[in-house]
Amino acid sequence: MANRIETERLTCRYGEVVAVEDVTLSLEAKAVTALIGPSGCGKSTFLRALNRMHEVVPGASVQGRVLLDDEDIYHPSVDPTRVRRTIGMVFQRPNPFPTMSIFDNAVAGLRLTGVRRRAELEEAAERSLRAAHLWEEVSGRLKKPAAGLSGGQQQRLCIARAIAVEPQVLLMDEPCSALDPISTLAIEDLIANLKDRYTIVIVTHNMQQAARVSDTTGFFTVEGPGEPGRLIEIDDTEKIFTSPSNPRTEAYITGRFG
């Protein structure tokens, strides 16, 4: 499986309000794509539409197509829970389940979708916690509540939880915006390691971060309040940050706007 994601004329609405309009792009497999842009440009909404989390919000709707390896994830016969198991997500704020231990958090996605075998769960917990660079720090206290971890550890636990269900794509919605620089660095390292195995899409407000971690960068913007967000251009990260084709991209990355 290549796990390439393509969108065709994707428009996302909250009720009558159009959050992001007419986005057609292609996200390369086994690579990191960063989505940047000013607040309110719809990049997070777009990201949530890629694994059908957008429709969880009451009144939200989607128009257009999202193809995962040529299969439309919005086809009526597709079960959204299957989509979300294949396309995992990490949120802006660390959100471990407060009533569960570290171990239970790591394997929540497996256990709550029917995996019962203890050995399998233990194997998955160690594998995902190692992959999230958290194993050394927590292996001695897996039974302790996840709420006792630091913010950066909690976020890595959330990443472990997301990859324990073995998704093929990982969506990250500003995963470092609530973290200190050291935790941010740990997560960026992690992203670099994960991209051999996963297709990663990361929304970020931090342009240096986009430049550091991504292969491809897409720039979204919005004309004004109430206007829909749009994709301006998407290209190799190096090109976007050195010689973007669109003057608006250049204005944004050089800090003259946004």
Partner 1 sequence: MTGPVASGLRAAPGWRETRRRVTDRAFRAALLLAFLAAVAPLLLVLGYTVYRGASHLSAAFLTHSMAGVPPSSAGGGIYHAIVGTVEMVLLSSLISVPVGLLAALYLTEFGRGWLPRSIRFFVDVMTGIPSIVAGLFVYAFLVLGLHRGYSGFAGALALAVLQLPVVIRASEDMLNLVPDALREASYALGIPQWRTVLSVVLPTSAAGLTTGVMLAVARVTGETAPLLLTSFDNTFINNNPFSGPQSALSVFIYNSAQQAYAPAVDRAWAAALTLIVLVIALYAGARILARRSALRQR
Q: Is 78 in the site for partner 1 (CB under 8 A)?
A: no
Tell me how far, at minimum, the Cβ of 56 lies from partner 1, in Å: 6
Burial 175-190 (b: 16+ CB within 10 A, else e): bbebbeeebbebbbeb
Tell me how far, at minimum, the Cβ of 173 lies from partner 1, in Å: 10
Distance of alpha carbon 231 from alpha carbon 229, whole angstroms: 7
Q: Site for partner 1 (CB under 8 A): which residue of 42, 46, 50, 84?
A: 84
* Number of residues binding to partner 1, judged by CB under 8 A: 31
46 versus 219: smaller Cβ distance to partner 1: 46
Q: Site for partner 1 (CB under 8 A): which residue of 2, 15, 69, 82?
A: 82
Residues in 17-76 that interact with partner 1 by CB under 8 A: 51, 53, 56, 58
Give which of 78, 75, 94 is closest to 86, Cα–Cα: 78
Place of tokens 């500003």: 174
Q: Site for partner 1 (CB under 8 A): which residue of 41, 46, 91, 102?
A: 91
Other CB atoms within 10 Å distance of the CB of residue 1:
9
- Between the CA of residue 130 and those of 54, 173, 194, what are the distances in Å? 30, 22, 11
Tell me how far, at minimum, the Cβ of 95 lies from partner 1, in Å: 4
Q: Is 193 in the site for partner 1 (CB under 8 A)?
A: no
Instruction: Give the strand order in the sheet containing 199-203.
Output: 71-72, 60-68, 5-14, 17-27, 229-236, 216-222, 32-36, 199-203, 169-173, 87-90
What type of residue sits at position 48? R
Q: Site for partner 1 (CB under 8 A): which residue of 20, 32, 121, 162?
A: 162
Q: Is 145 in the site for partner 1 (CB under 8 A)?
A: yes
Packing angle of the helix pair 151-164, 181-194 (nearest 10 deg): 20
Q: Is 142 in the site for partner 1 (CB under 8 A)?
A: no
128 versus 221: smaller Cβ distance to partner 1: 128
Other CB atoms within 10 Å distance of the CB of residue 101:
18
Where on the chain is the footprint of partner 1 (CB under 8 A)?
51, 53, 56, 58, 81-86, 88-89, 91, 93, 95-100, 108-109, 112-113, 145, 147-148, 158, 161-162, 165
